[in-house]
A and B are shown apart, each in its own frame.
Chain A
Amino acid sequence: MPALLGPFGIWIVCAIVLAVMPVIFSSPVSVTIMNQMGISIVFALSYNMMLGQGGMLSFGHAVYFGLGGFFSVHVMNYIEVDGWPIPLPFLPFIGGLFGLAFAIIIGSFSTRRAGTVFAMISLGVGELIAACSIIFVVFFGGEEGVSGDRTMGPPVFGTEFLKEIEVYYLTAVIVFVAAALMYLFSLTPAGRMANAVRDNPERAEFVGYSQRQVRFMSFCASGFFAGIAGGLFAINYEILTEENLNLTTSGWVLLMAYIGGIGFFIGPIVGAVLLTLLQTVLSNHTELWLLYVGLLFVLTVMYVPSGLTGLMMMHGPAMKAGRLGQLAKPYMIAGIPLLVALAGGVAVLEMLNHYNNAPVGDNVAHFFWMAVDTHNPANWAVALAVTAIGAYTTYRATPQVREAWAEANDFSEKGGDR
């Protein structure tokens, strides 16, 4: 893809997109959501440096995110109270350094092994730090956390970051730089060997690399960028709490990376954007959103292990061959009923939930910009029928899709030109 616009083309496009986003989505709430996305993007990318690039499955990545954030917020308070002359844009970097410091300490023993042992250690460390965060109130502020005020530092280019939009541009710049650095890291010897160790640790040893050392370096880099994300969080929310470093946050970042696709650099970005939207927008529309996220996640792990990005990238060869058009029709034939089935399924779930939980007399559930009487059997019949018909039609259409797919990706007559 970068080839279309030269080596830096894709980055230039990204920078422009970042710059114009708040012009298109200018409401305060969308700026807030975009800030949240930026934080998630850096966090998820840093996570994928371990999972996708280095083959290390961690259940405790929030530790570095949270600690980076807590230190940032404390520094913020020092800026306010003791007048430390640190401009705000440097704060995430400070968070990163603390993330790095803790990654060095914890990585020194946890990266000895990969696989299940690593996962278990990360879980143990995560639980430990999360528990400590409630015990050590002076540093972590107990369950109410530690707050700060970002506007107390020396002004940068005349801005004091009073407005959300100023924070957006600060976040955008840092997200851009951090993403670029993480991408570049993957192209360094240390980054390439992280891939090698992921694929085959033994072989890596026999070309002169200590697998432990390679993992340790990815781990530290990952901790550094997680700390940066934590620092961004501190700037955006001006508060850090226990939940920023507990298992739930660690689980979320795994979800983001995995649903987005851990095999691709942009995978976690896709995942971060999508899950932030689900978390902020979908959750305002349905209380079942966590159920949907859970379903999405389990289905992704089962059927699309390469994630949503993988799903898109699968079409690369066909697109290059100009055969994407062949797929359009079968996709429509299977896709529309699939959407109908999904809509029907969601309707059933929402109606069921409403039926079970709504106040008496409130018979009308609201979803899909509709109002549905859940005490009317006819509506139930319709919803179930739509689901069933949609599912059946999809099922009938799948062979067609499979066939078209095989045809579009059949390069056999072109010989060795792969």
Chain B
Amino acid sequence: MGIIKKVRTLTATALLAASFTGASFAADNIRIAFIDPLSGPFATTGESGYRTFEYAAQTLVNDKGGVLGGRMFEIVPMDNKISPKESLIQLKRAISEGIHYIVQGNSSGVANALTDAINKHNRRNPDQRIIFLNYSAVDPALTNEKCNFWHFRFDANADIKMDALTDVIAEDQDIKKVYIIGQDYSFGKAVAAAAVKFIGAKRPDIEIVGNELHPIGKVKDFTPYATKIKSSGADAVITGNWGADMVGLGKAIVEAGVDAPIFTYYGAHDGITATFADKGVDVIRVVHEGTFNPPSAEFKAFNEGFKKVNPDKDLNQPRIIGTIQMLAKAMEAAGTDDPVAVATALEGMDFTNIYGRKVHMRASDHQIIQDVNITVHTDKNIEVDADNSGYGLLTEKTVKEAGKDLPTSCEMKRPS
């Protein structure tokens, strides 16, 4: 009967697959739990992050013989549905599976919950400590008042990005009026506050003609906001919007005939670039650490390899590469995978990233200090495009070691 046949076929393929991937099931793998959304509305971002981790771990660590004399990195995907509650459940799952390394990036809310829970856990269970590698959650609080020894951030935080972004704005004497708009939650507010602070300090003559928060994920039509922006006469727009809120806002602004640059944090990839296409050219600017165009040879090769495996995905969070490399380096330096030793090795680490630039993990707050780029959405001189659209981000300006001088309110408590 059909069942028997099926079982036979499947057993055959199973055996085949097992022989294929058998190596990665070795017992002494260093397992890294990836806690991010893999289902629900934010799954696209989570999925591409996961693929990047997988690919980076495979090509940069495992294919080169692993760490600590042949131990492999194994990324364990755990779906948190972008919910803090689910994240904590997954954290507990990771703990019970003996995992000591957590990576997460999407949503500062989740990151806050995780860092808090990990701090509590490590205090309550000193024999089973966890390290939290944050590759994308940029709420400044995480490396300021909420900092702890176990949390490391590999992305520039919202303040650092704004510092870099306002440097560019400050240099452009044509910009006289700025409109700030963002999502109504902690990150959006942090962006707005930072923008006001830095513009006020660097170019007091710039008038902030609008400082607006809109409900996150609830706005159907951004045209009314665009109308306001247009009638305010703004020369530049700053927004921290992401996801559907970014697409909607950007499109509405362009359609309303606003002829001003839109400075964004997340105005690319995940369908956003493809949606803007021609309309976004020389309008959308993105501030981030990625250096897509012109790419370094190493990065270009890495991206090509990644695209071969994931043709529909983008390498949109390239800092993940550095996260994996630095973790591997810290383990080699510590000579063990003991979390406290590895964390101590990570503190203050200097490293040259895939773009050939120097980065530094600041010990005082565990915030990475790296170059931050202001890039523009265009189809000219694009070698590494986004959404396979032919459009991509071209680096216009680079701020070296962005945020190096920004103070932190972190009082780091190290385990004795």
Contacts and interface: CB of A to CB of B under 8 A. Distances in A.
B201 interface: no
A237 B89 CA distance: 9
A32 B218 CA distance: 33
Give 10 nearest A-B pairs by CB, closest first: A371-B17, A28-B96, A144-B109, A143-B185, A29-B96, A144-B112, A359-B309, A382-B6, A32-B92, A143-B109
A345 B276 CA distance: 39
Among B78, B107, B109, B310, the most chain A Cβ lie within 10 Å of the Cβ of B109
B84 A243 contact: yes
Given A143-B107, A340-B3, A134 B309 contact: no
B186 A143 contact: yes
A233 to B, nearest CB: 8
B96 A382 contact: no
A29 B92 contact: yes
Contacts of A280: 89
Nearest to A127: B218
Given A28-B96, A239-B88, A379 B79 contact: no
Interface string B2-13: 110110011101
A36 B39 CA distance: 20
A162 to B, nearest CB: 5
A145 interface: yes
B96 A134 contact: no
Contact of B311 (A151, A233, A290, A360): A360
B13 A241 contact: no
B184 A135 contact: yes
A116 B351 CA distance: 62
A134 B215 contact: yes
Contact of A131 (B89, B117, B218): B218
B39 A283 contact: yes
Interface in B1-47: 1-3, 5-6, 9-11, 13-14, 16-18, 20, 38-40, 43, 47
Interface string A107-146: 0000000000000000000000001001101000011110
B289 interface: no
A361 interface: yes
A340 B2 CA distance: 10
A371 B96 CA distance: 26
Contacts of A371: 10, 13-14, 16-18
B108 interface: yes
Interface string A154-183: 000000001110000000000000000000
B216 interface: yes
Nearest to B91: A32
Contact of B96 (A27, A361, A372, A379): A27
Interface in A382-415: 382-383, 385-386, 389
Given A287-B79, A386-B2, A378 B9 contact: yes
Contact of A244 (B11, B85, B97): B85
A370 B96 contact: no
A254 to B, nearest CB: 18
B235 interface: no
Contact of A151 (B3, B124, B189): B124
Interface of B: 1-3, 5-6, 9-11, 13-14, 16-18, 20, 38-40, 43, 47, 51, 78-79, 81, 83-85, 88-89, 92-93, 95-97, 107-109, 112-113, 116-117, 120, 124, 139, 184-187, 189, 215-216, 218, 308-313
Nearest to A281: B93
B83 A289 contact: no
A372 B10 contact: yes
Contacts, number: 141
15 contacts: A28-B96, A32-B96, A135-B184, A143-B186, A144-B84, A145-B112, A243-B84, A244-B85, A283-B39, A364-B17, A366-B17, A370-B13, A372-B14, A373-B17, A389-B2
Contacts of B78: 284
Given A131-B218, A239-B88, 16 more contacts: A28-B96, A134-B216, A135-B184, A142-B109, A144-B112, A144-B139, A239-B84, A241-B84, A287-B79, A290-B39, A366-B17, A373-B16, A379-B13, A382-B2, A382-B9, A389-B1
Nearest to A385: B2
A135 B47 CA distance: 30
B309 A162 contact: no
A147 B113 contact: yes
Contact of A243 (B16, B20, B83, B108): B83
Contacts of B109: 142-145, 241
Contacts of B5: 382
B186 A144 contact: yes
A149 B95 contact: no
Contact of B116 (A32, A147, A385): A147
B40 A142 contact: no
B113 A144 contact: yes
A289 B39 contact: yes
Contacts of B187: 143
A371 to B, nearest CB: 4
Contacts of B89: 32-33, 36, 280
A142 B186 contact: yes
A350 interface: no
Given A134-B215, A142-B186, A376-B13, A239 B92 contact: no
A357 B311 CA distance: 10
A370 B92 CA distance: 26
A284 to B, nearest CB: 7
Contacts of A373: 13, 16-17
A362 interface: yes
A271 B313 CA distance: 37
Interface string A263-291: 00000000000000000100110010110
B1 to A, nearest CB: 8
Contacts of A284: 78-79, 93
A359 B308 CA distance: 8
A238 B79 contact: no
Contacts of B112: 144-145, 147
B281 to A, nearest CB: 30
B266 to A, nearest CB: 16
Interface string A22-62: 00000111001100100000000000000000000000000
Interface in A320-374: 340, 357, 359-362, 364, 366, 370-373
Contacts of A283: 39, 79, 81
A366 B24 CA distance: 15
A237 B85 contact: yes
A375 to B, nearest CB: 11
Contacts of B79: 283-284, 287
Contact of A287 (B6, B14, B43, B107): B43
Contacts of A239: 84-85, 88, 113, 116-117
Contact of B120 (A27, A149, A233, A379): A149
Contacts of A163: 124
B387 to A, nearest CB: 16
Contacts of A241: 83-85, 109, 113
A306 B389 CA distance: 51
Nearest to B17: A371
